[in-house]
Amino acid sequence: MENILSLLIWIPILGAIVVAFLPRDKDNLIRYTSAAVTGLQFIIAIVLWRKFDPSDGSMQFMERYEWIPSLNISYILGVDGLSLPMVLLTGMLFFIGVFVSWNIKKAVKGYFSLYLLLDAGVVGVFLSLDFFLFYIFWEVMLLPMYFLIGMWGGPQREYAAIKFFLYTLFGSVLMLIGILGLYFTCGKTFDILLIMERAPEALNGVLWWGMSAAKVIWVLVFIGFAIKVPVFPFHTWLPLAHVEAPTAISVLLAGILLKLGVYGIIRVNYGIMPNEVYWFAGGLAFLGLVNVIWGGLCALAQTDLKKLVAYSSINHMGYSLLGMAAVVAAGAMNGGDLKAAQAGLSGAVFQMFNHGTISAMLFILVGVVYERAHHRDIDGFGGLASKMPVYTGITALAFFAGLGLPGFSGFVSEAMCFIGAFPVFRTIVILSTIGILLNAAYFLWAFQRVFFGKLNEKYKDMEEINGLELFTVIPLAVITLFFGIYPGPYLDLIKATMDQIIEKVAFVATYASL
């Protein structure tokens, strides 16, 4: 188990190759193989979690191999409290996603081998500690996604896919420039941990075109990640990609790929340039506010159920941004308010996990009704509650989780983001609380239009949600409820790592004020 992290990455790659060599017409064999591969990966992720020491906030299970010594490129992997929950989420959602993809009929082999490649890319990004490796996985993730949307998607799939691709590529080019900037200023190394150590000093006072190099790098890298989150105004690829993508891909897109953005900002921007966090936090909080309100208002206006859920993602990630901005509360100039910093940062990290489970649930449920009715027009249903009580019940649960009802995990993380950001960004937080109302408005209004009222005669033979579909949703529902009632286990897992990040940001502030 020494190379447990490599296993997490290479098992799906191996799986992708195996699937690629399976006979083309054996659809079920391909499906079961994919399920086995992702299942195995999930089990390894669980083993990793059980072996992980939550009291240690630094990197664990590190693997380090020389790769291209002439350029100081190495193969470095590691996991800490920030990445571990995301790895677990990835393992789970990719496993569930196989079953959500069960009814894919077209080119099953191609689909699943790309699917497994995507899996490897995502896990790779979460685990790599070398920028070169990080970037390769970032791109590896992009390509399968492009094809999965472009070939298995809805009517506008090609437009959606190219848009997704170009948007992300634009971001990754900027990110690459930022990475190269770090490479050259920090002594020609791609080692993220080494850069973390060196950067504050190495970047101190360096000017590029009259601008602080650290700030330039911050913005370049931030845009790369912001597109993934997505942060307004880089968000318009998301609704389109979601609407066109097949259900399982939407689930993964919202459930994990968006999280790479928040993960990247915390890992790279916060970890390497803690000083600039102070400079950017106000902007981050403001962008959070815009995401919350803009996403919420757009969601309210949608008539396509899937697009509504897509915009709700923009809205929900806004809370995460708010929470992230709260870290600066720990700085000396803000009175060293450790409580707020802890609440905010942990809230943000918790929120990305919770949004992962909740939005995954929402997309699966939208897929269920689309499968039967072949449309997603909110006004085109009506009265489904009297025909499909189980489906209605579980959708109600997902919607209530989405609107931040206490008892569900989303409430805990949203509340923590708000409480954390409040002392420093009072006005912004107060304005953002309007989001709580918007959440409730768009979810309940949509719920009423789809499920309440008289049953639409067209759907009097609509089938109830089936066993396979329930199997994909119930674990997510259970997790959402569990962490809503008892968030302790999750927060304990990330606590030490969060404290390290906060300490770093707070230390810089004390250091700067001396």
Partner 1 sequence: MIESPMITFPLLILFLPLISFVILIFFGKKLPRQGDWVAVGSIVTTFILAVYLFVQMLTSYDANFSHGASLSWIDMGAFKIDLGILVDNLTIVMLLIVTLVSSCTHIFSLEYMKGDVRYNRYYAYLGLFTFSMNGIVLADNLISMYMSWELVGVSSYLLIGHWFEKDSAANASKKAFLTNRVGDIGFFIGIMLLYSAVGAFTFAPIFDSISGGEAIAGMTLTLAGLGIFMGAVGKSSQFPLHIWLPDAMEGPTPVSALMHAATMVAAGVYMCVRLFPIFTADALTVIAYIGAITAILAALTAITQNDIKKVLAYSTVSQLGFMVLAVGTGVYTAAFFHLLTHAMFKANLFYCSGSVIHSMHHALHEAHDHDTDPQDMRNMGGFREKMPITYYSMLISTLAIAGVPLFSGFLSKDAILAGTLAFAQQNPVHFLLPLLGFSAAAITAFYMFRLIFMTFHGKPNMKNIFKDIHESPKEMTGPIVLLGALSFFIFYTLPSNFNPIKDKGWFKDLIVPRNSAVPGSLTANEIAEYAHYAHYLAMGLSLFVAAAGILLAVLMYQRQSISSEKLSNKFGFLYHWSYNKFYFDENYNRYLYQPFLRLANSISWLDWEFYDKYFINGFGKLTKSFSKISGKFDYDGIDQGLVDGFGRVSSVSGNFLRNIQTGRLQNYLLFVVAGILVIIIAQAF
Going residue by residue from 309 to 338, which x/- string records binding to partner 1, judged by CB under 8 A? -----------------------------x
Residue 371 CB neighbour total at 10 angstroms: 14
Query: Residue 42 CA to chain centroid, in angstroms?
Result: 17
Closer to partner 1 at the Cβ: 122 or 412? Answer: 412
Q: State the minimum distance, in angstroms, from the CB of residue 302 to partner 1.
A: 7
Interface pick for partner 1 out of 17, 375, 468, 488 (rule CB under 8 A): 488
List binders of partner 1 among 383-402 (CB under 8 A).
Answer: 383, 385-386, 393, 400
Interface pick for partner 1 out of 99, 115, 263, 451 (rule CB under 8 A): 451
Under DSSP, the state recorded for 72 is T
Interface pick for partner 1 out of 10, 75, 170, 370 (rule CB under 8 A): 170
Question: How many chain residues bind partner 1 (CB under 8 A)?
Answer: 80
Closer to partner 1 at the Cβ: 20 or 40? Answer: 20
Closer to partner 1 at the Cβ: 42 or 411? Answer: 411
Query: Is 173 one of the binding residues for partner 1 (CB under 8 A)?
Result: yes
3-state secondary structure of 81: coil
Query: Is 346 one of the binding residues for partner 1 (CB under 8 A)?
Result: yes
Q: State the minimum distance, in angstroms, from the CB of residue 306 to partner 1.
A: 14
The partner residues of 77 in beta bridges, in order of sequence, read 63, 128
Which two three-digit tokens encode residue 22?
């399976």
Q: Which region among 46-54, 84-92, 208-216, 299-307 touches partner 1 (by CB under 8 A)?
A: 299-307
Closer to partner 1 at the Cβ: 8 or 326? Answer: 326
Query: Is 342 one of the binding residues for partner 1 (CB under 8 A)?
Result: yes
Q: State the minimum distance, in angstroms, from the CB of residue 43 to partner 1.
A: 28
Going residue by residue from 411 to 430, which x/- string records binding to partner 1, judged by CB under 8 A? xx--xx-xxx-xx-----xx
Residue among 174, 164, 124 at smallest CA distance from 142: 164
Q: Count the residues in the chain.
A: 514
Interface pick for partner 1 out of 87, 148, 214, 436 (rule CB under 8 A): 436
Q: Is residue 81 within 8 Å of residue 494, measured between CB atoms?
A: yes
List binders of partner 1 among 18-57 (CB under 8 A).
Answer: none
Q: State the minimum distance, in angstroms, from the CB of residue 99 to partner 1.
A: 23
Q: Is residue 437 within 8 Å of residue 404, measured between CB atoms?
A: no
Amino acid identity at 368:
V
Closer to partner 1 at the Cβ: 4 or 415? Answer: 415
Residue 61 main-chain phi, psi, to 5 deg: 55, 35
Residue among 200, 176, 198 at smallest CA distance from 186: 198
Rounded Cα gap, residues 69 and 301, in angstroms: 54
Residue 340 CB neighbour total at 10 angstroms: 24
Q: Which region among 33-41, 139-147, 223-231, 363-371 touches partner 1 (by CB under 8 A)?
A: 139-147
Q: State the minimum distance, in angstroms, from the CB of residue 403 to partner 1.
A: 9
Query: Is 58 one of the binding residues for partner 1 (CB under 8 A)?
Result: no
Closer to partner 1 at the Cβ: 304 or 371? Answer: 304
Closer to partner 1 at the Cβ: 47 or 180? Answer: 180
Query: Is 481 one of the binding residues for partner 1 (CB under 8 A)?
Result: no
Q: State the minimum distance, in angstroms, from the CB of residue 381 to partner 1.
A: 13
Query: Is 434 one of the binding residues for partner 1 (CB under 8 A)?
Result: yes
CA distances from 59 to 53, 56, 177, 271, 282 (A): 10, 8, 26, 13, 29
Which two three-digit tokens encode residue 479?
């997790």
User: HSE on the CB side for 505, CA within 13 Å?
Assistant: 33
Closer to partner 1 at the Cβ: 95 or 337? Answer: 337
Query: Is 194 one of the binding residues for partner 1 (CB under 8 A)?
Result: no
Q: Give the helix ranges, DSSP H, for 374-433.
A: 384-387, 389-402, 409-421, 426-432
Going residue by residue from 238 to 257, which x/- string records binding to partner 1, judged by CB under 8 A? -xx-----------------
Interface pick for partner 1 out of 407, 464, 481, 482 (rule CB under 8 A): 407
Query: Is 487 one of the binding residues for partner 1 (CB under 8 A)?
Result: yes
Closer to partner 1 at the Cβ: 161 or 196? Answer: 161
CA distances from 20 to 23, 34, 305 (A): 8, 11, 35
Query: Is 275 one of the binding residues for partner 1 (CB under 8 A)?
Result: no
Q: Give the angle subtended at the CA of 51 by the CAs of 133 and 139, to the nearest 5°.
A: 20
Query: Is 219 one of the binding residues for partner 1 (CB under 8 A)?
Result: no
Query: Is 512 one of the binding residues for partner 1 (CB under 8 A)?
Result: no
Residue among 113, 130, 250 at smallest CA distance from 182: 130
Rounded Cα gap, residues 352 and 281, in angstroms: 18
Q: Is residue 266 within 8 Å of residue 209, measured between CB atoms?
A: no
Q: Per-residue DSSP letters for 207-245?
A: EETTEEHHHHHHHHHHHHHHHHTTPTTS-THHHHHHHHS
Rounded Cα gap, residues 168 and 225, in angstroms: 9
